[in-house]
Structure 1
Amino acid sequence: MKNEENAIEVRDVTKTFKVYYDKGTELKEKLLFWKRNRYENRVVLDHISFEVKKGEAIGLVGKNGCGKSTTLKMLTRIIYPNSGEIEMCGRVSSLIELGAGFHPDMSGRENIYTNAAIFGLTKKEIDERLEEIIAFSELEEFIDNPVRTYSSGMYTRLAFSVAINVDADILLIDEILAVGDANFQAKCFNKLREIKASGTTIVIVSHSLGQIEQICDRSIWICEGKIAMEGKPKEVHLEYLDYMNTQRIDQQEKERLRLQKLELQNMQAEEEKKRKAKMKRYGSEDAKFTQIKMLDADGKEQTTFRTGEKMVLDLSYHVEKKVTDAVFGYGIFRSDGLWVYGTNTRIDRVDNFDIDKDGRFVITMPELNLIPGQYWLDITIEYGEGNPVDYYKEALKFEVVSNMTDVGVARIAHSWELEI
């Protein structure tokens, strides 16, 4: 260990896996179709380095497939890096594969001895901890039953109780904090806090950023096999969530273009779409919408917006017959049908007007303060007191994303003043 204060040192580590395209499973297949054994070397971790101090708790975050669990498995020495060095100081306990070493035909009590032995405890040490492990699992009346009779929740509670009652210098945890009911989860969190307070070094892999923020001193964001950022959990998580939201927006835009191309190529699908659209449109048809655009702050067509971002609706229409005392309006609905907001030119006290030729109107929402979710938009041309000319239901669908986790329908501007 280069630094005596460190419990873990990961230096310039690279890990690759062979991914076979079409590998034979039987000897006959391997002999006859040997050309099928083609593979690619996929780089999962690319020259990553980090240190963890003694008594520090860190969280590893990142999207699926970025290399978080691979990093943890290399720390436990389940797998080894292709290059680089990993040094660890002290006894290591891992919560990666809950129940590894459990035998379904053995009782819970017998499996405690087997599983604890895997973690390096002697029989004497297990005897001393046995009652504490059983009490923590809350499975006293089932402890002498075979574990094959346990529910999945009981099984994981027992495995968690064994693993967490090991006096380890380093504790490695991979996506296993959702164990049991709410009360048992709270007990697990309190136990982890006790372990951390006692000076144990903790490394957690989780998609639950709130859990990491409660326990960890530092977060490391792994992106495409490299460390993108490390620092205070809340600061790292905001950047990570912003990246994920950007990814989602890009994916949504690619999907939109793909669907648009598919519509142009598939006339049958287009006709079906028109048929369904007619079911959602009604009115006198003296005027009809001809083009509907949903734009972002840069004037680009978009269907995914961040909370508080500018949205612009650019709506064009064709007039077949003059509409006297016309009214333009729109409504926003949540995906479950909840009417979020609606208004029109009459409600907003725009001067009365007629339309007798083709035109367009633009609706600008400087701050779309909606809570993240799926929404749709109704648009309408009416006359008089709500008589429909072209009422277009579900004219556009869009999504709202955000780094925040507030709840409800809309975000209301507010501030906090604490006098503690």
Structure 2
Amino acid sequence: MDNQTVISIKNVSKAFKIYRDKPLTIKEKILKLRSNEYSNFYALNDVSLDIQRGETIGLIGHNGCGKSTLLKLITKILYPDSGEIKVNGRISSLIELGAGFHPDFTGRENIYINASIFGLSRREINEKIDEIIEFSELGEFIENPVRTYSSGMYMRLAFSVAINVEPEILLIDEILSVGDANFQKKCYEKIEGFKRDGATIVIVTHDLGTIEKICDRVYWLNEGCVIEHGEADRVVNLYTQRMNKQYINQRQEEYRKESESNDSATKVESSQDDNDVSSFTDETRWGSKEVIITEARILNQLRENTNIVAAGELITIEIDYKIIKPQKEYIFGVGIYTSDKVLVYGNNTQLDKLKIQSLNQNGTVKFYIHDFNLLTGNYKLNVAIVDDNHIALDFIKFYMDFSVVSNDKAVGLFSINHNWEVN
């Protein structure tokens, strides 16, 4: 390991035993009433990476991918089953905050205990204790037993100790939500100060904005393996795309199962005899019913009935109709609203110069959106049929709710194709 490499991880693996039928009592263990069969779960599998002095490294990935296990191996809370980890520098870990606290000791006494775990001498702690107490914002409560602290006070004290020991290497695991907004801001400023002073930082968090903001490089872990690493914005963008796709697929599967088990919940039921419109009130559905909408739906680019859409893809809005009394002209329309019921987009066949004067008694009108460029959010769909005088035949307001997932981080409603140029 050269002088600039402060953490060297070579071919590290760590497995945990998952028992199929674990004995729960001494009797079961002695009499072997339960099987001791188990399988190995590899939290990390042949992971290698080097972290240079002064770098800020982010570890990202879904829960259970091995991020926290890797940090615990670096701090020697855990030990690898195989491979080698070398660390060159004093570590402060914001992983299991307050792990060394004693509930019956005061906050001040626990500062001495916890700081000594990080390797500080009593003289060094004496020099820093006022700074630690001030940073924690605990005031007079510092003389009370920590068992009387709220969870927020407990975590603030533990964070204050860990972050004020002037580490050469700082490991952070999902604890940047400690305290209120002002305390969090102070914590970020402290971490930024470490970064400016040349400390090496390894951070695990699901806050991808923080990762992009402060990290030089990012490692993306999946099922115990590093599947991508490099500059923060590139890796975070790839990870976001993967997570969005998985989220859409999960929501789509849930929608499919719900539709199969309760198909009538998403339909406007009607019949020629009684035109049952009980699914909607008079405030959300109106018209002469001389032509009725029997069902409407959104289809994704795979032609699946859905209520979640990936931005930028082809979607289709289909309106099934039934003619009770023929009309001179039929105008079909759609409207898209925000969840706050603000109109985003509206269109109809007449606006697009499509004159419809003859239809089958039953049929489907399809509205294709080739590049659906709304930003991430929740939306509502209107569907309608009106006659040539724009008198409603069947108008259904907020027929269904749907969601859009976009990889664009812009704010607002629409994703706009653009670029910047600086001269």
Same fold per TM (> 0.5)?
yes
More off after superposition, 219-228 vs 30-39: 30-39
The match for 2:95 is 96
Moved runs in structure 1, 4+ residues, more than 6 A?
A: 269-273
* TM-aligned CA deviation for residue 108 of structure 1: 1.4
User: What is the rounded CA distance, in whole Å, between the counterparts of 1:314 and 1:324 in structure 2?
Assistant: 22
CA deviation map 1:190-223 (0-9, x unaligned): 2112212222211100001111222211110111
User: What is the rounded CA distance, in whole Å, between the counterparts of 2:148 and 2:422 in structure 1?
Assistant: 52
User: What is the rounded CA distance, in whole Å, between the counterparts of 2:91 and 2:349 in structure 1?
Assistant: 68
The match for 2:369 is 365
The match for 2:130 is 131
* 3-state SS of paired residue (2:278): helix
Structure 1 unaligned segments of length 5 or more: list them: none
Alignment pair present for 1:318 and 2:318: no
Residues 286, 91 of structure 1: CA spacing in aligned structure 2 closer, same or farther, 3 A cutoff? same
More off after superposition, 410-419 vs 149-158: 410-419
CA deviation map 1:29-69 (0-9, x unaligned): 43456325443211222211111011111000011111111
The match for 1:278 is 278
* 1:99/1:115 contact within 8 Å kept: yes
User: What is the rounded CA distance, in whole Å, between the counterparts of 1:418 and 1:306 in structure 2?
Assistant: 32
User: What is the rounded CA distance, in whole Å, between the counterparts of 1:34 and 1:77 in structure 2?
Assistant: 36
TM-score (norm 1): 0.88
The match for 2:237 is 238
* 1:322/1:356 contact within 8 Å kept: no
- Return the letter of the residue paired with 2:379: Y
User: What is the rounded CA distance, in whole Å, between the counterparts of 1:27 and 1:167 in structure 2?
Assistant: 47
* TM-aligned CA deviation for residue 373 of structure 1: 1.8
More off after superposition, 254-263 vs 241-250: 254-263
The 5-angstrom pairing of residues 77-116 of structure 1 reads 77-116=76-115
User: What is the rounded CA distance, in whole Å, between the counterparts of 2:133 and 2:262 in structure 1?
Assistant: 61
Choose from 384, 387, 411 the match for 1:407: 411
Alignment pair present for 1:218 and 2:217: yes
The match for 1:4 is 3
* 1:252/1:304 contact within 8 Å kept: yes
Structure 2 unaligned segments of length 5 or more: list them: 271-275
* 1:219/1:233 contact within 8 Å kept: yes
User: What is the rounded CA distance, in whole Å, between the counterparts of 2:287 and 2:57 in structure 1?
Assistant: 61
User: What is the rounded CA distance, in whole Å, between the counterparts of 1:137 and 1:382 in structure 2?
Assistant: 65
* 2:101/2:110 contact within 8 Å kept: yes
Structure 1 vs Structure 2 CA RMSD: 2.8
* 3-state SS of paired residue (1:228): strand
Q: Percent identity?
A: 46
* TM-aligned CA deviation for residue 342 of structure 1: 3.0
The 5-angstrom pairing of residues 151-170 of structure 1 reads 151-170=150-169
* TM-aligned CA deviation for residue 381 of structure 1: 1.4
- Return the letter of the residue paired with 2:51: V
Q: What is the aligned length?
A: 414
* TM-aligned CA deviation for residue 85 of structure 1: 1.3
- Return the letter of the residue paired with 2:414: A
TM-score (norm 2): 0.88
The match for 2:119 is 120
